[in-house]
Chain A
Amino acid sequence: METKNIMIVGVGGQGTLLASKLLGRLLLGKGFDVKVSEVHGMSQRGGSVVTYVRWGDRVCSPIIDKGQADCILSFELLEAARYTEYVKPGGRIIVNSQQINPMPVIAGMAAYPENLVEKMAALDIQVDALDALSLAEEAGSSKAVNLVLMGRLAKHFDFTDEEWMGAIEQSVPSKFLELNKKAFELGRSA
Chain B
Amino acid sequence: MKTLMLGNEAVARGLYEGGCSFVSSYPGTPSTEITECAAKYEELYAEWAPNEKVALEAAFGACLSGKRSFCAMKHVGLNVAADPLFTISYTGVHAGLVIGVADDAGMHSSQNEQDSRHYAQASKIPMLEPSDSAEALAFAKLAYELSEEFDTAVLLKMCTRVSHSQSVVETGERVLPAQKKYEKNPGKYIMMPANAKKRHPEVEARTKALTAWAETTKINRIEAGSDQSCGIITSSTCYQYVKEAFGDTYPVLKLGMIWPMPEQKIREFAAAVKRLVVVEELDGFIETHCRRLGLSVSGKDLFSNIGELSQNLVKEKLGGNVQAGAALDEVIPARPPVMCAGCPHRSIFYVLKKMNLTVLGDIGCYTLGAVQPLGAIDTTICMGASVSGLHGFVKAGDKESAGRTVAVIGDSTFMHSGVTGLINIAYNESNSTVIILDNSITGMTGHQQNPTTGYNLKGDPCAKIDLESLCHAVGIKRVRVVDPYDMEICQAVIAEELAAKEPSVIISRRPCALLKYVKHPGPICSDAEKCKGCKACMKIGCPAISMVDGKAKIDATLCVGCGVCEQLCKFDALGRAE
Interface residues, chain A, with chain B CB atoms under 8 Å away:
11-13, 24-25, 28, 33-48, 59-63, 65-67, 69, 78-79, 81-82, 84-89, 91, 100-113, 116, 119-120, 123-125, 142
Contact = CB atoms under 8 A, between A and B. Distances in A.
A41 B108 contact: yes
Contact of A66 (B240, B322, B365): B322
Interface in B511-556: 535, 538, 541, 543, 545-547
B166 A103 contact: no
Nearest to B308: A63
Interface majority SS (helix, strand, loop, mixed), chain B = loop
A23 to B, nearest CB: 10
A45 B337 contact: yes
A102 B334 contact: yes
Interface string B229-256: 0000000010011011000000000000
B68 to A, nearest CB: 27
B4 interface: yes
Contacts, number: 194
Given A47-B337, A103-B543, A125-B326, A39 B332 contact: no
B161 A24 contact: no
Interface in B198-257: 237, 240-241, 243-244
A46 B331 CA distance: 20
Contacts of A119: 328, 330
A41 to B, nearest CB: 3
Contacts of A111: 333
Contacts of B327: 84-85
B324 A85 contact: yes
Given A40-B109, A82-B332, A112-B333, A62 B161 contact: yes
Interface of B: 2-4, 6, 29-30, 32-33, 108-109, 132, 161-162, 164-168, 237, 240-241, 243-244, 310-312, 322-328, 330-340, 365, 368, 371-373, 444-446, 535, 538, 541, 543, 545-547, 557
Contacts of A39: 108, 164
A45 B311 CA distance: 28
A69 B108 CA distance: 22
Contact of B333 (A33, A104, A142): A104
Contact of A45 (B322, B340, B546): B340
Given A39-B108, A41-B29, A41-B30, A106 B546 contact: yes
Contacts of A109: 372
A68 to B, nearest CB: 8
